[in-house]
Amino acid sequence: MAEMVVNGVSTRKVSKVMETLCGTSFSKFKNRQLNGVYPFLLVDATYLKARENHRITSKALMIAVALTDEGKREIIGFDVFDNESKETWRTFFGSLKARGLTGLKLVTSDAHDGIIYALSKEFPEVPWQRCQTHFSRNVMDCAPKKYQKAIHAGLLDMYHSKTIEEARKKRDMLIEEYRGVADKAMERLDNGFESVMTVMALPERMRRFFRTTNHLERLNREVKRRSTVINVFPNAQSIIRIIGSVLLEQNDIYITQHKIALTKKDFDEMNRSSTTKLIEIAKEQQRLLAAK
């Protein structure tokens, strides 16, 4: 498909070929009504190059991967914007909402201000889980190299605590141990702790699936791999057409794969024991955001 574009075949013709192969068009896939229930959402953006006004510019490709209440992954949204901002992320979240995104309990992402803002406006009762992998990197970036391995081990131990109280104790011990030798890293840990531990409000069996955006990171790597042959897209619309076909193909793979190892019992326990906690966390996150 990508080689067709490089060799001069128009993206319009490519789209017709893909519709024939896949049985549907990526535009229908992109704009379809969301009729299911999606308790968990992962969002991220990756950058691709495109020509615009005789210049090569970077475009933000935003992608949303959700988990259904049956434990299946599904790509429920993607779009291309000039950048990642509060306005563009709110447009993206708003489009998901307009297409019928319901039942949302938790959103996992990196700490981009635009994502946090958009979530607070479009889904104010849904809390944000900061990706623990991204957070660990952020903390490590501030730590002297000779302490990084030990601090990372301490963070992993904290993430795998049984309760939020246990996690707070481990945080305090870590901060005490590295006070004076990695102050900036410990300050970052202290400031980001609550948002990175939102997942503790979920039943223990569910936490590991939503503590990071690793599933989406792997998808982004596949997008990059498949777009390498093109390097620079003819325009922003061609990104939607070509990468949309890639995402449609990947979504079909998700459908045929076994579901994530969660049962109806797990979802029932979440609805029974976690819903109130998650809403309370969302309200506290709203309050802190308003206070900034």
CATH number for the domain that contains residue 40: 3.30.420.10
Residue 15, in any domain of the structure: no
Q: What are the structure tokens assigned to 45, written together?
A: 């953006």
141 and 120, same structural domain? no
* 227 and 101 in a common domain: yes
Q: Does any domain span residue 8?
A: no
- Tell me 37's DSSP state: -
Residue 13 within a domain? no
Q: Judge whether 230 lies within some domain.
A: yes
104 and 228 fall within a common domain:
yes
The answer to whether residue 163 is domain-embedded is yes
Distance in angstroms (rounded) separating the CA atoms of residues 62 and 229: 21
Assigned domain for 171 exists:
yes
Same domain, 226 and 107: yes
Burial tier of 73 (Cβ tally within 10 Å: 0-12, 13-18, 19+): buried
DSSP state at residue 259: P
Q: What is the span of the domain harbouring residue 255?
A: 26-129+216-291
> Would residue 206 count as lying in a domain?
no
Whether residues 91 and 31 fall in one domain: yes
Alpha carbon distance 14, 51 (integer Å): 18
Asked if 185 contacts 154 with a C-beta cutoff of 8 angstroms, the reply is: no
Instruction: Identify whether residues 194 and 221 lie together within a single domain.
Output: no
Amino acid 25: pLDDT: 66
Residue 33 phi/psi, 5-degree rounding, is -70, 135
Phi, psi for 42 (deg, rounded to 5): -115, 130
Q: Are residues 124 and 139 in the same domain?
A: no
104 and 243 fall within a common domain: yes
pLDDT per residue rounded down to tens, the chain (292 residues): 555 554 444 555 555 555 545 445 667 899 999 999 999 999 999 999 999 988 999 999 999 999 998 888 999 999 999 999 999 999 999 999 999 999 999 999 999 999 999 999 999 999 999 999 999 999 999 999 999 999 999 999 999 999 999 999 999 999 999 999 999 999 999 999 999 999 999 999 999 999 999 989 999 999 998 888 888 998 898 899 889 888 998 999 998 887 787 888 899 999 999 999 999 999 999 999 998 7
Q: Are residues 30 and 125 in the same domain?
A: yes
Domain count, the chain: 2
Domain boundary among 164, 198, 232: 198
Last residue of a domain, one of 150, 165, 198: 198
Looking at the structure, tell me whether residues 31 and 125 fall in a common domain. Answer: yes
For residues 46 and 162, membership in a common domain is answered with no
pLDDT the model gives residue 6:
45
Give which of 123, 69, 55, 126 is closest to 93, Cα–Cα. 123
What are the helix (H) ranges across the chain?
2-6, 11-22, 26-31, 86-98, 113-122, 132-141, 145-159, 164-178, 183-196, 204-210, 214-227, 236-256, 264-273, 275-291
Token output for 91: 């447009």
Residue whose tokens read 């990171």: 217
Same domain, 178 and 161: yes
Domain termination residue (choose one: 166, 198, 230): 198
- In this prediction the pTM is 0.90
- Specify the long-range contacts of residues 139-148, CB closer than 8 Å, at least 24 apart: 139/185, 139/188, 139/189, 139/192, 140/185, 142/182, 142/184, 142/185, 142/187, 142/188, 143/178, 143/182, 143/184, 143/185, 144/181, 144/182, 147/178, 147/181, 147/182, 147/185
Let me know if residue 44 belongs to a domain.
yes
Question: Hey, is 32 helix, strand or coil?
Answer: coil
Residue 107 near residue 43 (C-beta atoms within 8 A): yes
